[in-house]
Structure 1
């Protein structure tokens, strides 16, 4: 039975590195929203004005692909943020509807380590990520919905 490995964590927590390692060791197909946006739109920041709509469009293209992989019996690593409980629940439900299992992976580190990673990543752009400023990093924290007590997950601490 294939598995959808759903990657959850805040900005800079190490999700990309974790997802890449998981992809190699399983093996699995990896789907990462930020990488797709960076590749499709490069540094054309005009597309980032309505970032939520951009993310929704990219995820709408990715979803049928990772679902098809599951239907074919291929494990997937899906890194689409999953900051909202509703998105996590929907992805788990979809995977199970397709006859797969869903495993939530929580990647965590202290905020100051996460911010240091983001600053370092900003220096290496363009690449597979999107430029971030500290104010945005702090403001977005209110949108990061904690896991519910009933959400089974694998927790990984990064440093």
Structure 2
């Protein structure tokens, strides 16, 4: 039975690093929303925060038929989508089950100061991921729904990684 690896966590927590490792180890197809955002929209110099939710939602909608097809034909997927809302996590688990697959949820976390340092490091890399300004980082933090006690998950703490 194929598996969908759902990667939950905040900016700079290490989600994509874990996603790439799972992609390699499981022979899975990885879907990373930040890579698509960067490719399509560039960086956050002007602060895209008001639109980032809409843009991310559009990308996830475009990705869904592809990852669902992968699962249907028996290929594991890694969904590096952040899963900040409980609603998205629930809907994705339902969709995964409808494809005849299982979902495995990972909670990737680290200290906030470490996360911001990682985002700043990515900002200084011209080939890095989506550029982020500090205000956007802070505003978006309030939009993350914590995992509920009824959501089985694997904790991955990357603070010292």
**1:44 CA displacement:** 8.6
Paired residues of 1:31 and 1:77 also in contact (CA < 8 A)? yes
The alignment partner of 2:36 has SS state of: helix
Moved more, 35-44 or 81-90: 35-44
The alignment partner of 1:6 has SS state of: strand
- Alignment CA distance shift 1:133-1:38 (3 Å): same
Quote the residue 2:64 is aligned against.
63
Q: Name the CA distance, whole Å, in 2 between partners of 1:142 and 1:26.
A: 33
Paired residues of 1:7 and 1:19 also in contact (CA < 8 A)? yes
String of CA shifts for 1:29-62, please: whole Å, max 9, x gaps: 000111011122334978x462222112211110
Quote the residue 1:4 is aligned against.
4
Q: Which runs of 5+ in 2 are unaligned?
A: none
- Alignment CA distance shift 1:118-1:43 (3 Å): closer
RMSD value over aligned CA atoms? 1.8
Q: Name the CA distance, whole Å, in 1 between partners of 2:43 and 2:143.
A: 25
Question: TM-score normalised to the size of structure 2?
Answer: 0.92
Quote the residue 1:22 is aligned against.
22
Q: Name the CA distance, whole Å, in 1 between partners of 2:136 and 2:6.
A: 24
- Alignment CA distance shift 1:103-1:116 (3 Å): same
Which stretches of structure 1, 4 residues or longer, exceed 4 Å deviation after superposition?
Answer: 43-46
The 5 A counterparts of 1:76-87 are: 76-87=77-88
The alignment partner of 1:80 has SS state of: strand
